[in-house]
Chains A and B, each alone.
Chain A
Amino acid sequence: DTAVSQTPKYLVTQMGNDKSIKCEQNLGHDTMYWYKQDSKKFLKIMFSYNNKELIINETVPNRFSPKSPDKAHLNLHINSLELGDSAVYFCASSHRTYGNTIYFGEGSWLTVV
């Protein structure tokens, strides 16, 4: 059973398009995250949601809009894609009070052409 799952795993799209990446966790966690890993391999947090409430927004352009329909899901919608958005996007989750160890998904490879 995959604990944190993301879809799609690979996505190639043209500049200007709008795309979404979905994330689901079956760990019973109450906090979910989106991280971005760029071509230089730096991993940086983008957003964090706790119980569907946004708690971290790390100066991400407003073209990126996370949506959390429930505690188990955190989707990332990106409008007007740019070349610089090409990266690997990792979803993650944790339980805010029980240990708070963060577990990551396998990543979604986004290529904007």
Chain B
Amino acid sequence: DAKTTQPTSMDCAEGRAANLPCNHSTISGNEYVYWYRQIHSQGPQYIIHGLKNNETNEMASLIITEDRKSSTLILPHATLRDTAVYYCIVRFQGAQKLVFGQGTRLTINP
């Protein structure tokens, strides 16, 4: 699985959009970009994933650049409950595991 690079930490004001970047310059054509988050003392929570096209669900939007070498997870209206570590993971859809990096610690401030 390709490696990803994320900022160690970010801050965002409550109510604003939180934009979390991820670089995955060695991604291959069949690898998907997955995002998970881990709220303190909880299990990792699936957020969204995509291959080429931008994706949106009830939690977030995923914007993938045309060359697929980077992506951005957008939480449109961040709340205090969105404070968590966010993991960007590149993975073949049929792969049998997720390889977690260090992630980005996102803090939502009141």
Question: Do A43 and B45 have beta carbons less than 8 Å apart?
Answer: no
State the CA gap A74–B41 with chains docked (Å): 22
Contact of B94 with A96 in the complex, beta carbons under 8 Å: yes
* B side interface size, CB within 8 A: 19
Q: Range of interface residues on chain A?
A: 20 to 34
Within the complex, which residue of A41, A48, A101, A105 is in contact with B97, where a contact is CB–CB below 8 Å? A48
Tell me whether A56 and B93 are in contact (CB under 8 A): no
Q: Judge whether A45 is part of the interface by a CB distance below 8 angstroms.
A: yes
Q: Taking the complex as formed, is A107 at the interface, i.e. its CB lies under 8 A from any CB of chain B?
A: yes
How far apart sit A32 and B43, CA to CA, in the bound complex (Å)? 15
Residue of B whose beta carbon sits closest to that of A96? B94
Question: What is B's interface to A at a CB cutoff of 8 Å?
Answer: 34, 38, 41-46, 49, 85, 93-100, 102
Which positions in A face B, CB cutoff 8 Å? 4, 31, 33, 41-45, 48, 50, 55-56, 90, 92, 96-97, 99-107
Q: Which 3 pairs across A and B sit closest by C-beta, in order of nearness?
A: A104-B43, A43-B100, A45-B97
